[in-house]
Amino acid sequence: MADTALKTATFAGGCFWCMQGEFDHIDGVSKVMAGYTGGTTRNPTYEQVAHGDTGHVEAIEITYDPKKASYQKLLDIFWEILIRWMSTASSATKAVNTAPVSSTMTTSRRSWRKPRRKK
CB under 8 Å to 21, separation ≥6 — which residues? none
Max Cα distance, the chain (Å): 47
Catalytic site residue from 6, 15, 26, 101:
15
Does 15 participate in catalysis according to the annotation? yes
- Rounded distance between C-alpha atoms, residue 25 and residue 114, angstroms: 21
The residues annotated as belonging to the active site are: 15
